[in-house]
Amino acid sequence: MTHSVSRMPRRTAAATVLALAGLLATAAPAATAAPVTAVPTTARTSPATPAGTAAAPDVPLANVKAHLTQLQSIATANGGNRAHGRPGYKASVDYVKAKLDAAGFTTTLQQFTSSGATGYNLIADWPGGDPNQVLMAGAHLDSVSSGAGINDNGSGSAAVLETALAVSRAGFKPAKHLRFAWWGAEELGLVGSKYYVANLPATERSKLSGYMNFDMIGSPNPGYFVYDDDPTIEKTFKDYFTGIGVATEIETEGDGRSDHAPFKSAGVPVGGLFTGASRTKTAAQAQKWGGTAGQSFDRCYHSSCDTTANINDTALDRNSDALAHAVWTLSAGTTEPPTGDTYQNTADVAIPDNGAAVTSSVTVSGRTGNAPAALKVGVDIVHTWRGDLVIDLLAPDGTAYRLKNSGNDSADNVQETYTVDASSEVANGTWRLRVQDVGPYDTGYISAFSLTF
């Protein structure tokens, strides 16, 4: 949804800030109603990114969680699980496949038999890219029979799905060919992924430039573990987390423990992310990552309590964005002929409840002249009761452009692309997104802020 935003002269800004002392902001010049059109926040090569590659878009946490809600509903409607051979698994496959078909992927259902039941791998190819260089990202979609399997492994499945949908939204044109996969019967012993690799002709297998695995990436007491297999994939993930100020550790629970294993055995470069299962978080890890020492990373591992309540949003968000970063980076692609450059900050910024304003900033450089009359401002905020929030864009000289007033809006999260007439502002400099929570109780954080010129 887009909104045209009018400039708020600075005196009004001051008046409005004073008014913010109360609960409701005075009505700044209201955003003139723009035709509501979906404006995809398309990743663009920004000067900070080496020529020829594109910055990954932010993967909206709300979208990933919406997939988890669907998978939970599927389990609830099908005996409480999404296990191999049970109706809940095939219903999960049908859900994911429908999203991918609608987004322009070429999908394939690969059937196999295990323990007397039919299993399914879902493979989705993004048309284009070098067919002799195939980059894969995958996750097992099945749960154990004792529960819905939302962290294990709805989390990985939903993040891979939303990254694939982000590829489609961006019109991404990677140099390599992208293939995404959702595996069946992982919980029975990596059955689906083993079947896929065993039945891939050697000529096709040799074209795989890498396989990235995502199995449990939203654990409630999370650690940030990176597989220590292929060094290039490992470095890509570690650099991402360093960039957002999050320390990582090498995943040491054993190579054979998830769907990357058959690819590794076949000589394919592998990597992946993991937030931990039944092992216990140490005091040193709790010091580093927060959470609870002496407690499992996921106390509901393989249990009936592995539901949508068994997810840490920050871990899921960070790992989803890291996944997209690795896909964009390792496929060395560019997007559709750019209509502009995007400058993005995906670092999370906590918003104090009913407190002081906070900001997320991007620094624009290397441009000439002023900003455009239709500057696109991408906002991704995770926050319950978004009516508490007042949101402004601050130009490098401090001029404030009101994007959103507070109000009686009980819905959650703000994922919008605003259009701002910034033609009176010099383009280069530090632009800031200013967010203030002016109401009590509900809390949240800035997940991403971007400008597209």
Q: Which residues bind Zn ion (CB under 5 A)?
A: 152-153, 215
Q: Shortest gap between Cβ of 42 and ligand DTR (angstroms)?
A: 32
Selected from 216, 315, 364, 420, the binder of ligand DTR by CB under 6 A is: 216
Rounded-to-integer distance, Cα 42 and Cα 201, Å: 36
Cβ proximity to ligand DTR: between 105 and 227 the closer is: 227
Please tell me whether residue 89 binds ligand DTR under the rule CB under 6 A.
no
Interaction partner, residue 348 (Ca ion, Zn ion, ligand DTR, none; CB < 5-8 Å by kind): none
Q: Shortest gap between Cβ of 85 and Zn ion (angstroms)?
A: 16
CA distances to 10, 164, 430 from 399, rounded to whole Å, are 6, 37, 12
Interaction partner, residue 274 (Zn ion, Ca ion, ligand DTR, none; CB < 5-8 Å by kind): ligand DTR
Selected from 152, 392, 425, 442, the binder of ligand DTR by CB under 6 A is: 152
Please tell me whether residue 215 binds ligand DTR under the rule CB under 6 A.
yes
Structure tokens at 26: 């005075």
In this structure, the dihedral spanned by the alpha carbons of residues 275, 288, 48 and 430, taken in order and rounded to 10 degrees, is 120
Binding site for Ca ion (CB under 5 A): 58-59, 317, 321, 447
Which residues, 243 to 262, sit near ligand DTR by CB under 6 A? 251, 253, 257-258
Q: Shortest gap between Cβ of 439 and ligand DTR (angstroms)?
A: 41
* Distant-in-sequence, close-in-space partners of 230: CB < 8 Å, separation ≥ 6: 210, 269, 270, 271
Cα-flanking dihedrals φ and ψ of residue 332, to 5°?
A: 45, 45
* Distant-in-sequence, close-in-space partners of 417: CB < 8 Å, separation ≥ 6: 1, 2, 39, 41, 376, 377, 378, 379
Q: Shortest gap between Cβ of 198 and ligand DTR (angstroms)?
A: 19
Q: Shortest gap between Cβ of 138 and ligand DTR (angstroms)?
A: 12
204 catalytic per annotation: no
Which residues, 155 to 214, sit near ligand DTR by CB under 6 A? 186-187
Rounded-to-integer distance, Cα 90 and Cα 78, Å: 10
Interaction partner, residue 229 (Ca ion, Zn ion, ligand DTR, none; CB < 5-8 Å by kind): none
Structure tokens at 347: 């670092």
Nearest-CA neighbor of 258 among 211, 205, 291? 211
Interaction partner, residue 58 (ligand DTR, Zn ion, Ca ion, none; CB < 5-8 Å by kind): Ca ion
Please tell me whether residue 388 binds ligand DTR under the rule CB under 6 A.
no
3-state secondary structure 225-262: EECCCCHHHHHHHHHHHHHCCCCCEECCCCHHHCCHHH
Interaction partner, residue 257 (ligand DTR, Zn ion, Ca ion, none; CB < 5-8 Å by kind): ligand DTR
Cβ proximity to Zn ion: between 185 and 433 the closer is: 185
* Distant-in-sequence, close-in-space partners of 106: CB < 8 Å, separation ≥ 6: 124, 125, 126, 127
Q: Shortest gap between Cβ of 255 and ligand DTR (angstroms)?
A: 8
Cβ proximity to Zn ion: between 92 and 153 the closer is: 153
Contact status, residue 301 vs residue 220, Cβ threshold 8 Å: no
Cβ proximity to ligand DTR: between 83 and 364 the closer is: 83
Nearest-CA neighbor of 290 among 247, 228, 333, 321? 247
Nearest-CA neighbor of 148 among 192, 231, 89, 203? 89
Interaction partner, residue 299 (Zn ion, Ca ion, ligand DTR, none; CB < 5-8 Å by kind): none
Q: Which pairs with CB-CB distance under 8 Å and at least 24 residues apart come from 102-111?
A: 103/164, 103/165, 103/168, 103/169, 104/168, 105/164, 105/168, 105/180, 110/192, 110/195, 110/196, 110/199
Nearest-CA neighbor of 391 among 18, 20, 1, 56? 20
Q: Shortest gap between Cβ of 29 and Ca ion (angstroms)?
A: 30
Rounded-to-integer distance, Cα 297 and Cα 233, Å: 24
Cα-flanking dihedrals φ and ψ of residue 277, to 5°?
A: -125, -115
Selected from 181, 277, 351, 395, the binder of ligand DTR by CB under 6 A is: 277
Cβ proximity to ligand DTR: between 253 and 397 the closer is: 253
Interaction partner, residue 425 (Ca ion, ligand DTR, Zn ion, none; CB < 5-8 Å by kind): none
Buried b (16+ CB within 10 A) or exposed e, 267-288: ebbbbbbbbbbeeebeeebbeb
Instruction: Name the β-bridge partners of 183.
Output: 140
Please tell me whether residue 219 binds ligand DTR under the rule CB under 6 A.
no
Interaction partner, residue 447 (ligand DTR, Zn ion, Ca ion, none; CB < 5-8 Å by kind): Ca ion
Cβ proximity to Ca ion: between 285 and 314 the closer is: 314
Q: Shortest gap between Cβ of 317 and Zn ion (angstroms)?
A: 19
Taking residues 281 to 320 in sequence order and writing x for each that binds ligand DTR by CB under 6 A, - otherwise, the string is ----------------------------------------
Binding residues (CB under 6 A) for ligand DTR: these are 152-153, 186-187, 215-216, 251, 253, 257-258, 274, 277
Active centre residues (catalytic): 186
